[in-house]
Amino acid sequence: MLTGMLRKLLNAALLLLAVLVLNFALIHAAPGDPVEALVGEMGGATPEVIADLRAQFGLDQPLYTQIGTYLGRVLQGDLGHSLYYDQPVTQLIADRIGPTVLLVVAALFSAIVIGTMLGVFSAQNRRSVLSHLVTVIALAGFSAPVFWVGIMLILLLSVSIPLLPISGMADSGGAATGLAHALDVAHHLVLPALTLALIYLAFYSRLSRASMLEVLGSDYVRTARAKGLSRRQVIYKHALRNAVLPVVTFAGLQFGQVISGAVLVETVFAWPGLGTLAFDSILRRDTPTLLGILFFSALMVVVMNLLTDIVYRRIDPRIQTR
């Protein structure tokens, strides 16, 4: 088992290196460069200023020198300096990761719990009206564009019924601390988390429903029923434990993709997270920040995959390291 994990770790390191090199090459293959974007945003500049800025950012060096310098720095844990914010990229990511993790964990957690419950329910009562309703709602939530869902929820829960704040992560007027601050953040979290959860909800209810149906038809469940176990025991003790495996896989994978999932929700609700930072960095050609975030997301995916592996073994002892 230990050598297996070691091999996995080595693979992960190689994968991350490949991701770095590939991202670097891809970003530099695109036309335009950070200085042009920066100067455009400033409102224009003379060719001399442009040349100066290029030299300052090291963009006048040949590409292989640039990538060499960059890889060397990353190995020392330095993701470089943002061209736009003029701050270390690690600092930027550290500042923004908190809100994103909060948002995604809240959304994923509610989606998994509620989604799995709905899935299990609709698998048991396959032909009931309620089961069909769950399917329809799930599909609608999955197919509707997330920004549209967000705006509709704002219209419903903030404008028509003024229950929740529209945007931001905390009240801008007061500088609340401690419990008051936590409650304020929770208040602001409801709408974005709900919006994001609606997409995932569809996913998990469909997934757990399908998986539950498959498990319910298997021999050991029939045996359990034949033994005279109660319906509750059969479902929750015997069937669910197996049916939940794909849910765990997807939860792990999706958590690795937090940033891509959160971009739109963060934009609509002005949530100060990593998703908006990534999006802005693309538009601004802030190469170091973008590379940093991409590297960080790759790292997250790898780590989450490893964690999923471990959790898997806990739930299903049959899975052994090959």
Partner 1 sequence: MFERLTRTLRNAVPIALAATLSFSSALHAEAEDGGTMTGFTTGYRTLNPAVQSGAATGAPGSQIFAGLVSVGADYKIEPYLAKSWDISPDFLTVTFKLVDNARFHDGQPITAEDVKFSLEAVRENHPFGQAMFGNVESIDTPAADTVVMHLSKPVPGLLVSLQPLLMPILPKHVYGDGQPLKTHPRNMENVVGSGPFKVAENSPAERLVLVKNEDFFIPGKPHLDKIVYPLVKDPLTRVLMLEKGEIDYAAFAGIRPNDATRLEKVDDLTVTTDGYGAIGYIHYLELNLRDKPFSDRNVREALAHAIDTGFLSKVIFGGRTVPGTGPLHIGNPFYTADVPAYAADMDKAAAMLDAAGYPVGADGARFAFTLDVPSWAPAAHVPMAEYIQAQLAKLNIKVELRKAPDFGTWVKRISSWDYQATMNGSFNYPDPTIGVHRHFACDNIKNVIWSNTQGYCDPKMDEMLAAAAVESDFAKRKAIYADIQKKVQEDLVFIYMPQDFSVTVFNNKVEGLPASPFGALAPFSDVYLDN
Q: Which is nearer to partner 1, 32 or 178 (CB)?
A: 32
Q: Which is nearer to partner 1, 115 or 286 (CB)?
A: 286
Q: Which stretch binds partner 1 (CB under 8 A): 133-141, 156-164, 236-244, 309-317?
A: 156-164
What amino acid occupies position 261?
Answer: G
Q: Do 266 and 100 meet the contact criterion of CB atoms below 8 Å apart?
A: yes
Q: Which is nearer to partner 1, 117 or 190 (CB)?
A: 190
Q: How far is CA 305 from CA 5, 62, 298, 312, in A?
A: 12, 36, 11, 10
Q: Do 152 and 146 meet the contact criterion of CB atoms below 8 Å apart?
A: no
CB of 54 to partner 1, least distance (A): 13
CB of 199 to partner 1, least distance (A): 18
Q: Which is nearer to partner 1, 154 or 212 (CB)?
A: 154
- Residue 238 near partner 1 by CB under 8 A: no
Please tell me the count of residues contacting partner 1 according to CB under 8 A: 52
The two three-digit tokens of residue 229, written as one number: 């176990």
Q: Which is nearer to partner 1, 57 or 204 (CB)?
A: 57
Helices (H), 45-177: 47-56, 63-75, 89-124, 129-143, 146-154
* Cα distance between residue 20 and residue 26, in whole Å: 10
Query: Residue 215: how many CA atoms within 13 Å on its side-chain side?
Result: 24
Q: Which stretch binds partner 1 (CB under 8 A): 113-121, 241-249, 272-280, 308-316?
A: 272-280
Q: How far is CA 148 from CA 156, 169, 266, in A?
A: 12, 20, 13
Q: Which is nearer to partner 1, 255 or 279 (CB)?
A: 279
Applying the rule CB under 8 A, the residues between 5 and 64 that interact with partner 1 are 30-34, 36-37, 39-47, 49-50, 53, 56
- Helix (H) or strand (E) run with residue 40 in it: helix 34-42
Footprint of partner 1 (CB under 8 A): 30-34, 36-37, 39-47, 49-50, 53, 56, 84-86, 95-96, 147, 151, 154-155, 158-159, 162, 165-170, 172-173, 267-270, 272, 276-277, 280, 282-285
